[in-house]
Amino acid sequence: MHQRTRLMTMMAILIAIGVLGSQFLWFPAGIAKAYPVQHAVNVIAVVMLGPIRATIIAFMIGLIRNVFGLGTLLAFPGGMIGALLAGYFYQKTNKLTWAAVGEAFGTGIIASLFAVPFAKLFMGTTLGALFFFPSFLTSSISGALIGLFIILRMKSTQQLKSFHLK
């Protein structure tokens, strides 16, 4: 199969997993719902495809979920900032654990702070950072751990090499 076709197919599969998975695996966390599948997909995408493609995947998951009324606008900063920082950490260290740490820190801390003006500007809500922090952190840590588990399992069974498309 042509390399670009494999790349686009893998991106489409990860987007589909992110969109559909968010409908089956979620739980209430503070004022929002936690969607850990988004963050698991981010970690997997960063390791397999790199930070830019992982960020594009996060954007597409957020876009599709919003178009179909399955998510909120907070899916954009939450998913994209986490994917970008996970990719940065992974590129700098080449360690799988740091991809998960980057996802949790990028979404749980940075995106929760970014969500305050974002929510005010686009959603008309004036909630403070402490309202977003618990749900973003819970969602990102649980999802990053799921993604890390899947990537470590793929690595231990030698499956990761066949999927590397960076």
pTM of the model: 0.90
Task: Give the confidence band of 165 by pLDDT, cuts at 50, 70, 90.
Answer: low
CATH class, domain 3-21+34-161, is: mainly alpha
Rounded CA gap, 52 and 22, in Å? 22
pLDDT at 17: 98
**Sign of the alpha-carbon dihedral angle for 103, 90, 40, 150:** negative
Q: Which amino acid is at 41?
A: V
Query: What is the mean predicted confidence (pLDDT) over 72-79?
Result: 81
What percent of the chain has pLDDT above 70? 88
Lowest mean pLDDT among 85-99, 110-124, 150-164: 110-124
In sequence order, the 6+-apart residues with CB closer than 8 A to the CB of 159 are none
Residue 73 confidence (pLDDT) above 80: no
pLDDT at 60: 97
| Segments in 25-128 forming alpha helices (H) | 36-49, 51-67, 75-93, 96-105, 112-123
Kindly report, residue by residue over 11-59, the tens digit of the pLDDT: 999 999 999 999 999 888 776 678 899 999 999 999 999 999 999 999 9
**Residue 76 pLDDT:** 84
Token pair belonging to 158:
């030698």
Report the pLDDT value the prediction gives residue 52, as an integer from 0 to 100: 97
* Backbone phi, psi, residue 2, to 5°: -60, 145
pLDDT over 80 (residue 62): yes
Does the pLDDT value for residue 144 go beyond 80? yes
- Rounded mean pLDDT of the chain? 88
